[in-house]
Chains A and B, each alone.
Chain A
Amino acid sequence: MTSFFEKGRAFFGRETFGLLLLMAAMVLAFSLASPKFLGLANLSSMGFQAPLLGLLTIAMLAPMISGGFNLAVIYTANLSGLTFAWVLLQFGGPEAGMGAILLGTVAALIVGATAGAVMGLVIAYVGAHPILVSLAMMIFLRGLGEFLTKGGDISGFPESIAVLGHGTLLGIPVPMILFGLVALVWHILLRRSRHGFAVYMVGSNIRAAEYSGLNTKRTLVAIYALSGLVCAIAGILMLSRFNSVRVGHGEALLLITVLAIFLGGIDPFGGHGKVAPVILSVLILQVLSSGLNLIGANQHLATAVWGLFLVAVMIVRSERFQESVQSFTVALHHMSKPAGGKS
């Protein structure tokens, strides 16, 4: 039994393995509580819901590893979605063709990346704190979006758009595939590329990184631009899922992305963290909320449980807790030994 835990830890890494165990325990508990939990309907509904939070979390992740923050993820996604919608409406709304969809996608990605790059430029060259810069951008984008939409919904898109948010490919929800691809690219970017390497170094000690010859300013601009790009993908997905665009859609997810990131063991001060445990955290949060929903608990209760969950995780991860667990197991070990041995 011990060797199973040790092997798992060594293979997946401490963080990921712990989360895998947690996820397994929760899936087991919920499937015992409700037979519907492992049913196709529930699994597929989870597969459609989780990717939105997942994409937004990824957009938050890289700035956090670089020692920063991106409070503007939701409104960047909204504005990108708005851009997409606007292009579609210019080309006839429901009658818009494939060319318009392609053009809209590109325009949305450009808007998202630009919003991010502007934040990156201010953070890198002015030296302002990322929380303040992204807060300013968030308020700017919200105001701009509300001004453009007059606070209302925009809808009337071609039906083919729905495939993105509601379709399946080989039985797998399309949003899940999209999320998986983005996560994979993000993983490779962070762990294997020069740019990713620089992100970790900048997050750890930006001056030492600069002294070692890294281009820290370019790194910061690029990381926020990429974050904005992922926001745009989330914005397009949101448009397809809700079949409408509204500034403020997904607002409640902002701090949940932070929750998922901390659950994934990312160092809040930057410099450390991986994509895989963060993805797992997103899935765990989804399992928790779908599971509670299935056994008939109130949706708001699920949110409350998420909060408690984070507190519990922090306690379990604390050094003091780990030490006492260790001394407890040592004590158990001694007790189980036959009397006479020194203790």
Chain B
Amino acid sequence: MAGDVNEGYALRLKGVTKVFGGIKALDNVDFDVRAGEVHCLAGENGCGKSTLIKIVTGVYRPETADLIELFGEKLEAITPVMARAKGVSVIWQDLALFPNMSVAENIAFDEMVGLRPKGVDHAGMKTRAAAVLARLGVTLDLNAPLESLLIAQRQVVAIARALMNDARLIFMDEPTASLTQSETDRLLDIVRKLSADGVAIVFVSHRLAEVLEIASRVTAVRDGRLVGVYPTKGMTQARLGELMTGHLLEDKVVAASKDSGPIVFQASGLTRPKQFTDIDLTIHAGEVVGLVGLIGAGRTELAHTIMGMTQAASGTMQLQGKPYRPASIRDAIAQGLAYVSEDRLQLGLLQKQSIADNAAIAVLDTLLDGTGLISPAKKDDLITGWVKKLGIKIGKPENAISTLSGGNQQKVVLAKWLATQPKLLILDSPTVGVDVGARAGIFRIVRELADQGLAILLITDEVTEAMFNADRVLHMAQGRIIAAHDPRTTSVAQMEAAIYA
């Protein structure tokens, strides 16, 4: 490293410590970013990444810091105003944009705030917004309201807004979490372009593959301490995962032939116009069937029909050999199906309610006492049982579910459904927003469940996830299942090529 020469650094922090309520969120951490570099900040949820970002943007003041230096200038502390004036910008995962304002207004937002009540220079604003978008090589309708844009386009608007403020150091928090593969590729192109322009980018992402693709160096943080700074050249996903979690997380193919077991679920010729066509699907007891494809391929729509939320126009379904035609999601649950929704925040859990209530919601009937009322003791037993079985880290069961990390929330979702003793479990993108360590934990549970004889349909956007956790991988495109892959005889590269071709 460059020693004490501060030329060429956008940011240098040395020995930063930040304490919250007696707990060291950051403990003597060093962090530096070179000008024009794409740098990855890697670590599990709660490791101190966000705290670090908030120190750089002046939201938090560290208790101690041996050195704080922005663009070669030594500072006592960073204030929010100073951070912005010097060109530090953060694009949080929720983007913090204004849905009902236009693209141009969103991009030039800070300019409008600064104006005295003279009025807003709409024409000038549009010209400048267009110039920034041109710099990114993107065309967007400047007059369109932001809410009419795709998430990927909104991301571009957020980046443009940062550039409008002459940002020279941009932090991006999970920028690709809700993007498709091709959208991600386009975003990474933009990041490269910015980097070539001399803008330093700090990338925070759970998706290790793209981290390794885009960044030149990676800083790994674990439990508030610096693990180390590494060049990404020669780094593997497994090694990076190990640095972040402290455990060796080696992906290996676990697939086995499970088609000798009894058939749990079977669909033949299942069709719902404009969503999926002629779906034949068989899942055996103890089998994990992966379902991969691009967003819009019809995977979630198929799951919704299997769960009785929508009705198929033609085709039949069978559950354990008997005709199965659920009239509603309640009907499907009663017949032994369970569905972990891809949208944990809105549909999977009731974020404002307690951990206990979220876990108990699907099995209230089993928790009644002699008088027909819910027995608090039975409810407690249910929660403690599942917390132990799945290794869920919680405070008190009556705390709101939103106090848990993504991984632990998802485990509560699993507990909720496993309590119903399902025959078929559908997992729809079960690891969105779940960090790498917790991800491994969830798939360990999935594998155990399969070994106990549960039939599982795993819908995922990540080929590797299907590859290393499913027994069979089906490829869905434009509403049809077009290929079946055996993880034992296919490589990730082959499967990715087939899907993203």
Binding site for B on A (CB under 8 A): 188, 192-194, 197, 200-201, 204-205, 207-215, 271-272
Contact = CB atoms under 8 A, between A and B. Distances in A.
Given A192-B374, A271-B353, A197 B364 contact: yes
B388 to A, nearest CB: 22
A208 B350 contact: yes
B282 interface: no
Contacts of B330: 213-215
B341 interface: yes
A211 B348 contact: yes
A272 B346 contact: no
A213 B363 CA distance: 9
A160 to B, nearest CB: 34
Contacts of B361: 197, 201, 209, 212-214
Interface in B341-370: 341, 346-353, 357, 360-362, 364-365, 368
B203 interface: no
B197 to A, nearest CB: 42
A299 B382 CA distance: 53
A192 B346 contact: no
A205 B373 contact: no
A292 to B, nearest CB: 37
B171 interface: no
Given A200-B353, A208-B349, 14 more contacts: A193-B372, A194-B364, A201-B353, A201-B357, A209-B361, A210-B329, A211-B339, A212-B361, A212-B416, A213-B330, A213-B334, A213-B361, A214-B330, A271-B350
B350 A204 contact: yes
Most buried by B among A194, A205, A208, A215: A208
A194 B353 contact: no
Contact of A201 (B334, B350, B420): B350
A271 B352 contact: yes
Contacts of B368: 194
Interface string B316-339: 000000000000011001100001
B350 A209 contact: yes
A197 B353 CA distance: 11
In the complex, the 9 A-B pairs of residues with the closest C-beta atoms, listed nearest first: A213-B333, A192-B373, A212-B361, A204-B350, A194-B364, A211-B347, A205-B350, A204-B352, A208-B350
Given A213-B329, A271-B352, A272-B352, A207 B374 contact: no
Contacts of A197: 357, 360-361, 364, 374
A213 B348 CA distance: 11
Contacts of A272: 352
A212 B373 CA distance: 20
A188 B376 CA distance: 12
B365 A194 contact: yes
A193 B350 contact: no
A213 B358 CA distance: 12
A116 B296 CA distance: 42
A272 B416 CA distance: 21
Nearest to A198: B364
B347 A208 contact: yes
23 contacts: A194-B364, A194-B368, A194-B374, A197-B364, A200-B357, A204-B350, A204-B351, A204-B353, A205-B346, A207-B346, A208-B347, A208-B348, A208-B349, A208-B350, A209-B350, A211-B339, A211-B341, A213-B329, A213-B333, A213-B362, A215-B330, A271-B352, A271-B353
Contacts of B334: 213
A120 B416 CA distance: 29
Contacts of B346: 205, 207-208
Nearest to A194: B364
B72 to A, nearest CB: 35
Interface string B61-81: 000000000000000000000
Nearest to A206: B350
Contacts of B360: 197
A205 to B, nearest CB: 5
Given A192-B374, A197-B357, A212-B361, A205 B352 contact: yes
A20 to B, nearest CB: 21
A205 B351 contact: yes
Most buried by A among B334, B341, B348, B352: B352
Nearest to B334: A213
A211 B329 contact: yes
B372 to A, nearest CB: 8
A193 B374 contact: yes
Contacts of B352: 204-205, 271-272
B217 to A, nearest CB: 40
Contacts of A201: 350, 353, 357, 361
B331 to A, nearest CB: 9
A324 B1 CA distance: 47
A210 B333 CA distance: 11
B162 to A, nearest CB: 30
Contacts of B373: 188, 192-193
A200 B352 CA distance: 10
A197 B363 CA distance: 12
A260 to B, nearest CB: 23
Contacts of B374: 192-194, 197
A249 B348 CA distance: 46
Contacts of A271: 350, 352-353
Contacts of B339: 211
Nearest to A216: B330
A272 B357 CA distance: 12
B493 to A, nearest CB: 36
Contacts of B351: 204-205
A298 B410 CA distance: 58
Nearest to B376: A192
A56 B351 CA distance: 30
B346 to A, nearest CB: 7
A211 B352 CA distance: 16
A193 B368 CA distance: 9
A80 to B, nearest CB: 28
Contacts of B350: 201, 204-205, 208-209, 212, 271
Nearest to A202: B350
A272 B368 CA distance: 22
Contact of B347 (A188, A194, A200, A207): A207
